[in-house]
Each structure stands twice: as C-alpha cells, then as structure tokens.
A and B are shown apart, each in its own frame.
Chain A
C-alpha cells in the first residue's frame, strides 16, 4: 500500500493556532484505518513538495503570512499539487493566502495564490474573536454543524459564483456576516480554529475521502463529545463575551439555548471581562 502523505506547510510561519493539530488528526485517522500515513513538515527554508496527497496551511501573523505567500507564489508547488488533485485545508491566514489577494500589515493588497475565489481586505469593524458555529451549505449538509473559534481582523469577500463553506449561526465568518469560508474543488478554506479537524471529525473524513475514497468508521466517542459540547456551549459563550451574533444566528441561538437544561455537559459560568495577568 502506498503511503498517504499530509504536508504541513510552514508551521514556523503559519502555526499560530495549533494548526499542526489538523495534520495530526488527518494522519491518525488514516493510521487507525490501517493506511500508511506520514506528516511531511515543510518549514520556511525547505522546498514545498508538489506530490503530497493533502496539504494543511494554517494561521499566522501579518509578516510571516506575507513571507509564506511570496514563497508559495514563487515555487507554484501548491498550484501543481492542486492541479493534480491534492486536497487542501486552508485555515485563517491560510485561507487568505489562497485567495486572489489579501491585506498586508499596513492594509496594502498583497497578491494571493489565486486558488480560492475570494479577496480579503482590512476591516474597520472590531476584530472577530470568539466561538463560531456554522451550518454547512447544501452539498456539505451531511457534515452536521461545524464548530470552531475565529480570530481575524481582516474580512473575506467571495467573488461572484464562489461558494461559502456554510451559513454562520453564531460568530462573524466572511464579510457579509452570513457565510463562512470558501470551498472550491478540493480546497476547503475556513476561519475555524480549534483546530477545526479536532472539533469536527466528519470534516476530517470528508477531506480524507477526497483522497482515499470511502472510509471505515472509527471510534469517535471523544471527538464527537467535544463536537457536541462546543456546538451546544459555543454560541452562549460568544453571546456572553459580547461577540457578534447576526439576526438569523440570534433566533437560532435563542431556540437552541432553551435546550440547555437537558445538556449533558457542565455549563460554563458567566465570563466577565476582568483584569488578568
């Protein structure tokens, strides 16, 4: 059996949000199904291979993000991999880099990889920080709800004809406030940290199925328990922290929070904004 390879792109530049965890989740879920799997960690000084099966591009700060984009644009290795059918998970800064253009540290437009139909601009709105809950769009509805934590200052606008990953039930997501992320071909772009595949095992398996086809079920007791707990408690935490809830999200959350009495997990006490060390 050939080895399935998961490339973790520039964790030293784009690893701010535990993004290596997404690569680990993908590799482990393959190994537990008796695939040979390897994580190929590509640091900033190394050449990006174009022959891996899956690519994980994570979040990072402004300067390293621009550096990573310049390197990927120069080598075109990720472009070649995508052209030959590789699957890509691009999170936060990774999503922005894969678009047509994104905002640099001073707000200037920087050329992106052009692999996702979106642009990202600096925003006058407060930074979007907090739990986010997403209902995947039509063809991805089988994934159930997606839970994550978003943390981004810039906002992403989809280009005409582009498809968001889903509808925002709590949180901010893309610029229009209703959609989250962008999916194109086998590239899944999202603002969800967590890491997103740790919280959403079904999304991990979707990406894997693009590469290896049908998958046997796994014992997902703990990942499923985390998914359910975050799906239930995340929107309430967002609301209490004074985060943004769109009108559709608010009505959904009201209905959903009513069910909290029967929850099987301990509810978090009220979070107050206080001085801290």
Chain B
C-alpha cells in the first residue's frame, strides 16, 4: 500500500463536492456524473489535475483512433496483472473535467489510466507528470473543430519534450506525425502498430516534403517476422526523416495477411467505381431472410465468438514472439493490444499476465456489444473518422451480411460530414445496406454515387429492424452510436447489450471512475450531456 497522500484542504473539499454533485447528477438522470462533478471540482480547485494526480502513477493514452479501447485494455491489464486498484475514465470523458472527476475518485496512490483528448494532451501532461504516455496515431477527426492535425502534433511534441526524467513515451513508429511528436522525449519505446490511413501524413512533419510509405504491410507470417526486422516503414524524400526501428510490432498469423491488406486504405479508390455490370444496382442483391431471429442467449454467445477476431502475434526485436488472442475483433485492436503490451512491460508488468487480462475484454463502452431491434440481433460498431471506418469495414460479417449505417453531424461528430466521401463505402456492395441517422440523406447520396444498393430509414430502431430478421452489423458515428444504445435501452430490447461474457456478476476488474464502470445508462446519459439524447421524433 503506497503512502496516503495528504490533500490540501481545498482540494479535499473539491473532491467531496465533486463526488456529491456527480452522485446527484446520476440519481436525477441529468448527466453522466463524471463530467458534471468535474466542473465543480475544477471550479473549486483549478489545479485539481495536479493535486489529485500527486502520489499516483498516471498513464495517459491519446490518439485519433483506438484510445478508448486501448485505455480499457491497459486498465484491465494493469489491474489484473498487477493485482491492484486502477482508476480510469471508462466513460471516455477525456477532457479536463472528466479527468478531474476520475482522478478525484479511488484510493490515493491508485494507478490511473486516462484516455485524453488529442487536443488536451499537452495541457494534461504538464499537470499530472505521467509515468507513461501512449501515443497511437493522428489523423483527421471532426474537421470543423480540430482542423489542423499538424498543430496537434506540434502540441504533442512540446509535451513530450517537457516530460520529467523517468517518464516513458510508448509511440507508434508507423505514424510520421506521432514520431515527430515523440522523438524529442528522452525515453521512447517505438511500437510497429501499423497505420491504416496514410493520407493525412504524407506531408513531412519536419520539412513539408513528401513522405513515402514503402514496403507495404508488415510481415505476413510469424516465421518472416522472426527473420527480419519489422518491414514496412516510411521515409521523407527531402530530409530523410524516417521511421525509427520499433522494439515490438504486430504480425499476422497466416500468409494471406487478409486483415492487414483489407485494412490498408490510402484514399477512396476512385478506379473502383468503374463497374462491371454485375455490381450495378439491383444485381445479385442477396436474400435478407437469414435464419436466427429471436436467438436464445446461448446462440448469442456463440455469435459473439464468431464475431471475435483471430490471433495475431506481437514480435519483439529480440526475437521473442507472443500470441495476441483477443475477443475484440479487428486488426486495429490487435495493434492496440501490442501497444498496451509495450506500455505495461515498460512499467514493469509481466507479458503473460498482461496478455491474458486483455483476452478477457469483450466490449468497450458499448462498442462490439450486441443489441436487438425487432427480429434483428445487431452488433454495434463505432467509427468516428475515415481511418476508423476503414478499420471497421474489416470487421464486418462477410457478405451478404446486412449492414446498417447511422450518421449524425452534431458537435461531437463534427458538423461537416464531407468525410463520408473519404470512406470506402464501395466495399458495401453486395450486401443489404440501410442508411439511417440524422444525416441519412448525406449518406444516401454517398451510397448513390458509390452504386451501393440501399434503403433509407431515418429511425434508428426501425432501420435495424429493416435490415431483416437475423444478424446485422450496425456501424455508427459517435452520437448516432450512443443514440442506438439509448434507444435499445428504452425499448428493453437490450438484454444482450453487455455481451455474453459480462452478463453475469462483474469479474474483479479495475475500479472505474465514478465509482463504478459506466453502464449503458450512463453512456446514454453522457450523450445527454453532449447535446440531448436526441429522441426527437427519430427513434
């Protein structure tokens, strides 16, 4: 038990007041708790982040994509492998107010694993003196608010340069912007986590020159991986700024490399709209009457297993290979797991305990959860930007599995949905597709020009039901995703929401902010915090 940290009186009062308001806010259903509490804490104690992080080991996780999942994997790994209390902002409240509320919770001295918004990382890192910072990737997100990814990279760079001695940065060597930021830190562990989205990175962050991504995907087999250093890589043609050698990287387990190839998208491939006649609208539209309506729980459990990812490998430069087996689907989550492995081992945790703890995680704040509407059992996938969509398309049930796509354009989503045209929706040809969400018309036009046969239904629940009885994948952007969670809650069509393996009593896990992990209700309440749960006639 680490020594208790004595809080100054004002900070202590602020923590008590914040906890009180947070609890009240949850009881009255007016907010997610942590954000409201955080406002009070920060009002009473502007230096709350510094005060409440004193005496804690704090790990910060940031990046455009994967930070919520990576934070959950890391929190679970540290609490399970280290048998200790870990506090974390599992609800994804990742600005200063949410972080203050999280840090004010839990036992003094408990390790904190915090997801931090990209734009706030510099400020937060300056206040909490992190033991480690995990930097995943940087690409376009919410254009109308966060319009210059290079500015964010510069802010990260200043934060990395200002870290106190002893802090370690765990950074993705495959993202030039991340490398530009992390390279100034005294202690960096480079991870070959891959980069599915290179079009935001092609101007060299050092000189503005062209960055060439060479070598293609990383090695396709474990044997290849053992024989050579992590291939792939990138280099600026003008100044020579290049990928540093990673100490650990992700490799697939078979020679097809199918997940990796499928996930490697630079831009919408405009050549692909040159269609063979078979793909024209109306041709070969599959039968939507799939079996499996009204599945019993056991079948849903099986369904969850079928939807899970296949194994990849974490390869250390020393030659050690670890199998990465996750219940979470997709190559991007395996990459996140390799980053977590690097971070946890750099903090002194054993690899095998970290890997087995990550293998237990099966849902992250509703992502990958199973919901129902009518006769449809749907798996929820979240995608917030072009890079995220490219990743999610690799996780879909193979054709002719139906896909419901839900698009909003609220503040939290970015109000300009132009990014829809950077997403390779052409890949949805050959499936039944339903366009929904508040901006279903923007999506419908995108699908129209992509020649993807589709139906439109602005109601989220009716759109899911319209995808036909049986299974469907629902891909939604941020606020649409939380509306789906809220809607399935309010109809009671949600008994499988938490996923088959977490349906029972919670296993011993990290103590989450607030003081328990956000259930679906709080996730939905958080949406209310963000601008109304939006039941306005659409659901």
A residues touching B (Cβ–Cβ < 8 Å)? 8, 11-13, 15-21, 23-25, 27-28, 38-39, 41, 44-45, 61-64, 66-67, 127, 129-131, 149, 151, 193-195, 198-199, 222-223, 225-226, 229, 237, 241, 265-277
Contact = CB atoms under 8 A, between A and B. Distances in A.
Sorting the interface of chain B by its residue count into under 10, 10 to 19, 20 to 34 or 35 or more gives 35 or more
B418 interface: yes
Interface in B497-539: 529-532, 534, 536-538
Contact of B531 (A16, A63, A272): A272
Given A15-B199, A62-B148, A274-B412, 15 more contacts: A17-B419, A20-B270, A21-B418, A21-B420, A27-B273, A131-B415, A151-B144, A222-B448, A241-B411, A266-B438, A266-B537, A269-B532, A271-B410, A276-B411, A277-B94
A24 B267 CA distance: 12
Nearest to B451: A28
B393 to A, nearest CB: 17
A11 B267 contact: yes
Contacts of B68: 277
Contact of B267 (A15, A63, A127, A129): A15
Contacts of B270: 8, 20, 23-24, 27, 39, 41
Given A41-B270, A61-B150, A274-B529, A28 B449 contact: yes
Interface string B104-139: 000000000001010000000000000000000000
Contacts of B444: 222, 225-226
A269 B533 CA distance: 9
B422 A24 contact: no
Interface stretch (B164-172, B202-210, B331-339, B486-494): B202-210
Contacts of A38: 274
B449 A277 contact: no
Contacts of A198: 421, 442, 445-446, 449
Contacts of B478: 276-277
Contacts of B208: 63-64, 66-67
Contacts of B94: 277
A155 to B, nearest CB: 16
Nearest to B67: A277
Given A129-B144, A223-B445, A64 B421 contact: no
Contacts of A269: 531-532, 534, 536
B247 interface: no
Contact of A194 (B148, B412, B418, B448): B418
A149 B421 contact: no
A229 B441 contact: yes
Interface centre among A195, A199, A276 (most CB of B within 10 A): A276
16 contacts: A8-B270, A15-B422, A16-B143, A18-B420, A18-B422, A24-B449, A28-B449, A45-B237, A63-B203, A64-B208, A127-B147, A151-B416, A198-B445, A275-B93, A276-B411, A276-B530
B446 A241 contact: no
Interface of B: 35, 68, 92-95, 97-98, 115, 117, 140, 143-144, 147-150, 199, 202-203, 208, 210, 237, 267-268, 270-271, 273-274, 410-412, 415-416, 418-422, 438, 441-442, 444-446, 448-449, 451, 458, 478, 529-532, 534, 536-538
A274 B411 contact: yes
Given A63-B208, A149-B418, A151-B144, A225 B441 contact: yes
Nearest to B423: A18
A270 B535 CA distance: 12
A79 to B, nearest CB: 23
Contacts of A15: 199, 267, 422
Contacts of B203: 12-13, 63-64, 67
A266 B93 CA distance: 29
A134 B203 CA distance: 33
Contact of A195 (B421, B438, B530): B421
Contacts of A18: 418-422
B439 to A, nearest CB: 9
A75 to B, nearest CB: 15
B117 A20 contact: no
B150 A45 contact: no
A276 B445 CA distance: 28
B103 to A, nearest CB: 16
B421 A21 contact: yes
Contacts of B421: 18-21, 24, 195, 198
Contacts of A64: 203, 208
B69 to A, nearest CB: 13
A274 to B, nearest CB: 5
A268 B530 contact: no
Contacts of B237: 45
Nearest to B408: A268
A152 to B, nearest CB: 9
A193 B148 contact: no
A134 B274 CA distance: 33
Contacts of B143: 16-17, 151
Nearest to B435: A222
Given A13-B203, A149-B144, A237-B415, A277 B117 contact: yes
